[in-house]
Amino acid sequence: MLTSLQYGNTTWPSFTTFNCAFAEMHGRHQPAFEFYSNPIGYTARLQYIFQSGVPKMDIAFYQKFTAYRSVPRNYQPIDFETDGKHPRS
Amino acid sequence: MQPSRMAKADETQQTNIPNVNGPECESLGFSYVIDAYRQYAAPANLACKRIISAECGANVEEAHQQTLPEFLWDVKRSIAGSVNNFIFYGYPYSGNVSYPLALFVSSVEC
């Protein structure tokens, strides 16, 4: 099957890395490229907001691990999430 | 810079994140778990790093299938986990070579 996956400067799909293992080849060959400015602008504005100010946390969990074999969900109960869904509680 | 590239969170994070100028994690290595981003951002926040970045968008086996809402989905999750800088994977800028393919990819930073 002939594709342009190994070659740049051609039509889509153009050059694709890692043997198509990972998304995404952002660039002018992507069909959605003319629409990228919206999500990228959104992300840029979010970055500006979240890089300003002083980070503050209400709750911290002290994790007494010295080696993490995985990235577990360390606090198992979902009571915080449930409370978050009821703003009046 | 990624102190523990694609590795599961391990003790190198606690010791190395404060030593790096700009700690960066990876959405792929962290399996999009918000607690994982928080766990990564904790030493960075304690060390008063203003910028905690993440490499976003590398979804496995989804080449040429990622939609723009999916593109933003992980941005939003990462912000909930205290990540505030995003590098989008990837931006291929060279074709016509057979090997090594991986060297000719960069990332786009907002």
d(CA A7, CA A22): 17
Option in B39, B45, B104 nearest A71 (CB): B39
Residues 47-66 of A with CB under 8 A from B: 47, 50-51, 55, 57, 60, 63, 65-66
pTM of the shown model: 0.74
Instruction: Give yes or no for residue B91 having a pLDDT over 80.
Output: no
Token pair 């342009």 is at which residue? A4
ipTM of the complex: 0.74
Q: Inter-chain contact B63–A67, Cβ cutoff 8 Å?
A: no
**Alpha-carbon dihedral sign for residues A26, A29, A31, A35:** positive
- Residue A34: list chain B partners with CB under 8 A: none
B26-72 per-position pLDDT tens digit = 777 777 888 888 888 888 888 888 888 888 887 888 888 888 898 89
Q: Tell me how far apart the alpha carbons of residues A48 and B54 are, in angstroms, rounded to a whole number.
A: 15
- Of A43-52, A71-80, B14-23, B37-46, the poorest mean pLDDT is in A71-80
- The predicted model gives A34-62 an average pLDDT of 88
User: How far apart are alpha carbons A70 and B56 in whole angstroms?
Assistant: 20
CB B56, CB B78: distance < 8 Å: yes
Q: How far is the C-alpha of B19 from the C-alpha of A16, rounded, in Å? A: 35
What secondary structure letter does DSSP report for B102?
G
Q: CB pairs below 8 Å between A and B: how many?
A: 142
Number of Cβ within a 10 Å radius of residue B76: 12
